[in-house]
Structure 1
Amino acid sequence: MSLRATSRDEKLQKRCSAAVQKLVDLKINFLAIDFDQTLVDVHTGGRWKGTTQELVQHMRPLFLRLVPLASQHNIRVAIVTFSRQTERIREVLELSYPDYADVIPIRGCDNTWEYKGSGMRMGKQEHMASVSEELIAKPAMGVTDVRKDTTLLIDDDPRNIRLSLKDGTRAVWFNPMDPERLLDNILLLM
């Protein structure tokens, strides 16, 4: 690895650390992250034909640092997606986050879960609410009080962001063309 790459990696690590500290300061304890075009730099359309290892190569460096740092600060992370390929996503998480994958719930359109609450069901709201119910039901996971004001959605789809904000859940739009801008936007949260 070149000196330039090392310096860039160190800078990204510091910026991710600052963003996680901001989340801690804001008492965010649940980070819901979209998969396609957000966690990874491609849109699989829920039909990824390549290998899991090939998909792992599309993981964004930003999230390879942000997710472990958030987890180390007791911020629970979940993947919320409209993809049906949740088993493939699980494999990507296991390869990308071997120390954390087992505590990262995935909510996709795979008919493996059901939201039983009465909240909004549009956008990613029911996905996040379902994970919240799971986290609260498992106090051993370290989070006992997940609310809309302690949750942050990160998504590349402006519609999901609008619906989240309309429902009272914090959200930050992820620009796939400028991934690291996310860190600046997190620092601007109030």
Structure 2
Amino acid sequence: MGNVLVWIVWLAAAAACVGTGLRVVTASNPFSSALSLIGNLASLAVLYLLASGEFVAAAQVLVYAGAVMVMFLFVIAYLGGRADAPWAGGTRLIQVSSVIAAVSLLAVTLVAVLLEAGDQLSNEAEVSRAFGSPAAIGQLFLTDHLLAFEITSIVLLVAAIGGVVLGIRTERDVDSVVGRDAQ
């Protein structure tokens, strides 16, 4: 009975992941899209828990669904209606390349599932008990991957500064908003 419950939770989390993922890319409102992304990240955390990745699930919720998404929501709220202006009237190339990328990801996923179904991926790797522990991840972050870790923090800082720069309103913008409200 326990195995059935795990499958039910997995199917619900996978359906939520796919559903919220589709909502992220189809929502016309950027705020709604960002809230759907939070739901997507939470459903991924459930899938990580089912795969015995407790630390990764907790980091997913705290770092991505918590801190990073709060920053995204802040920038979207700060920019207001201009948040999706760079993509307004997107070219046909963007639409075609998005469809090609989605079909490619679907093909890779189907190949992996079919290979697993044919027991061609059944050779399990040896995983140590310390794999994925906070100590092992911290050791890797602060030794072998320190440069990548620091570059990531700089990219997040530049993104935050870019959001503030995009949100700066000129006097002409303020006058046009005030002029519209007065009419």
Provide TM-score, normalisation by structure 1. Answer: 0.24
Provide TM-score, normalisation by structure 2. Answer: 0.25
Higher strand share: 1
Higher helix share: 2
